[in-house]
Amino acid sequence: MLSVINHKDKVYQDKNFEAYVKVLSIEKNFYAIYTGYEDGSFYELINLNIDKKLKEVYKARELDRWVLIKIDGNNINKKEITLYDEDLNRTAKRVEENSYNPTKRPWYEMAISSGNRAIKTAPYKFSHIDSFGITFSKELSGSKNVVSVDFLIEDFKNIFKDNINQETMDMFLFKKDGTIISSITKDDDLLASFFEKNKDLEKFENANIVNVKDKKYIVQIEKLNNSENDDYIILFADYKKIIAPYFSQTFNLILSLFIVCLMMIPLIIYFSKIIVAPIFKLVQESKKIKDRKYDSISKVDSSILEVSILSNAFLDMSKSIYEYQQSLEEKVEQRTKELNIKNEELFKLSITDKLTGLYNRVKLDSVLQENMSLSLRYGNIFSVIIIDIDFFKKINDNFGHQVGDDVLKECSYILSKNIRNVDTLGRWGGEEFLVVCPETLKNGAKDLAIKLNKAIKLHKFSTYPHSVTISVGVASCSVKDLNYDDIISNADKALYEAKNNGRDRVEVF
């Protein structure tokens, strides 16, 4: 996901800041997100709350939450460190000497040589905190720039030390070659001694009893699925210490059972005559509760007061369960409806531009990919229209951003009212809009573009006193186009031609 939303060009790196903050806020085990650039530039955001030691390392205050590290490839001997609080207010900024070159780091080299595939490193210990982690990296679309995430693995000892008996058990986190990553043990040589006679790890997927260093152990190995199929956990349980308590408990239990049986024989004979029959009847009635046959439950008559009380309790309980079940089903149904409504609202927010109410870049990418797939599979023709508001910067500079926002919203409304039902309109970015026209040839898209151009030009804006014009670029897919980026590029070229030819016009690629 980061490789999609990340701006791959260095000049736009500051636009990644809020996206990095959101990801680190949501994913509590993410330590840092950063991008290394081909020229040696570097852009990293670190979550200071991941470890108290980080605030000492970066000279942060108690209220500081984020640290942003920037290295400019044109001045690689310096690095800029900026601190931010929880509300993203800058609290400090300084420049320090730098010896770090991202292009020489393993994560950068592995990502560049991976063929544009995401890679992850083996677990390693972080330099600034006492924890292990993994780095995930991916090259940004052939740009020789790499985005990475440091993923924090919770400390092995903290996870397991409270869940095993350290007097009787030893545990190791290790690689397939026997390298120990972490351990909870009193005998550091135990794992090496085990490997001397046991090479087949799959044999120990289920617990086995083995002799290691003249001592009997119960051993089980579990492969970790979150690694490169190379990491394992092994548990050694001291056989004698584990089994010893059970021998004593078993003897005491057998003796107790024998005494109880001797005492119960006369009582069993007596109560079997008086209680067994009504209790058996109660059992039958209780099964009706289990089977939800509440309307067929009847009272059990007995000369024993306790049995009668129990029977009445069964009747009351069955009635309460039935009423509660009905109430619960109604609540579940209501909550399900409310949840579905909220899910629909969240989905709409995820694909909608907040200012204009149009589809955002995420939705437009999805629609473009869908149309491109249909084109490649069935030969369907579709067109795209890129629209740019002429001299929009002057509107913002001369009349303020509020008027600029009003112009964007009213343009969005006009465009949405003049496209066809089958077309998809969205905000492509800034003052640019994109229309995807399925099953539409180039001439049809051009006619629609001219219509949109006229509609904007004739509109009287509520807060902007002048008329607004737009430049429009049109392009259609062809047999040479293998992805929608090619079509967007062609439409961009047509848009630039419209601007170069005087603006307020439609050009077709």
Nearest to 371 by CA among 381, 360, 361: 381
| Positions of the chain with pLDDT under 50 | 4, 8, 155, 227
Cα gap 152→158, rounded to integer Å: 14
Give yes or no for a contact between 230 and 247, defined as CB atoms under 8 angstroms apart.
no
Give yes or no for a contact between 198 and 254, defined as CB atoms under 8 angstroms apart.
no
Domain edges within the chain:
2-153, 156-242, 361-508
Matching CATH topology for 2-153 and 156-242? yes
Phi, then psi, of 304 in degrees rounded to 5: -90, 120
Q: How many CB atoms lie within 10 A of CB 190?
A: 19
Residues 6+ apart with CB under 8 A from 377: none
Q: One of 97, 431, 432, 439 is an active-site residue; which one?
A: 431
* CATH no. of 156-242: 3.30.450.20
Cα gap 442→383, rounded to integer Å: 6
Cα gap 436→359, rounded to integer Å: 11
Give yes or no for a contact between 374 and 435, defined as CB atoms under 8 angstroms apart.
no
Name the DSSP letter for residue 461.
Answer: P
| Distance between first and last Cα of the chain | 31
Strand order from edge to edge, sheet including 208-212: 180-184, 169-175, 231-238, 215-223, 208-212
Q: What is the pLDDT of residue 227?
A: 44
Q: How many CB atoms lie within 10 A of CB 425?
A: 22
Rounded to 5°, the CA angle 314-318-321 comes to 135
For the chain, give the percent of residues with pLDDT over 90. Answer: 41
pLDDT, tens digit, 9 for 90 and up, residues 109-138: 998 888 888 888 777 777 777 667 788 899
Q: What is the pLDDT of residue 187?
A: 86
Known catalytic membership, residue 329: no
Q: Class of 2-153 per CATH? A: alpha beta
Residue carrying the six token digits 């000492």:
56
Fold for the domain defined by 361-508: Alpha-Beta Plaits (3.30.70)
